[in-house]
């Protein structure tokens, strides 16, 4: 799994307990997975289809740096499935784990469209 982006936890990212708000982290992950899918499928027309059970393993606090990792599990006909881990960059402690995130490629008609990719096509996205 490659860890693509890093986020600095700022005051506006916190919940009432002064830890990282879960919704903020999910938004970061959704954006990261969208970018990853666009790169892998070589198209900007991808949408989030499915996110599996989400396990908030530990929290982050103001000033922490969170890194988000993604890897491809499989390619379907119109979809790509990924797994995700977000962790504290310094301690490597896992913050969240998502076993399956599915994005679907849409055609110009807004319907799922075949992407023609397989595991052999996985892009070595720049680190």
By CB under 6 A, name the binding residues for ligand COA.
47-50, 76-79, 102, 104, 106, 112
Residue closer to ligand COA, measured from CB, 59 or 72? 72
SS (H, E, C) 23-38: HHHHHHHHHHHHHHHH
Closest distance of CB 92 from ligand COA, Å: 29
Closest distance of CB 49 from ligand COA, Å: 5
Residue closer to ligand COA, measured from CB, 5 or 45? 45
29 in the Ramachandran plot: left (φ > 0), alpha (ψ -120 to 50) or beta?
alpha
**CA triplet 69, 46, 44: central angle to 5 degrees?**
95
Residue closer to ligand COA, measured from CB, 81 or 88? 81
């Amino acid at each position: 799994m490659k860890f693509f982006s890093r986020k600095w936890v700022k005051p506006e990212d916190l919940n009432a307990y002064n830890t990282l708000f879960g919704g903020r982290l999910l938004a970061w992950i959704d954006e990261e997975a969208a970018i990853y899918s666009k790169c892998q499928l070589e198209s900007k027309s991808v949408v989030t289809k499915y996110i599996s059970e989400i396990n908030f393993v530990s929290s982050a606090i103001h000033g922490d740096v969170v890194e988000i990792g993604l890897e491809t599990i499989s390619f379907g006909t119109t979809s790509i499935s990924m797994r995700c881990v977000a962790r504290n960059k310094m301690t490597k402690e896992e913050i969240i784990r998502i076993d399956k995130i599915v994005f679907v490629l849409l055609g110009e008609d807004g319907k799922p469209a075949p992407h023609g990719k397989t595991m052999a096509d996985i892009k070595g996205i720049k680190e």
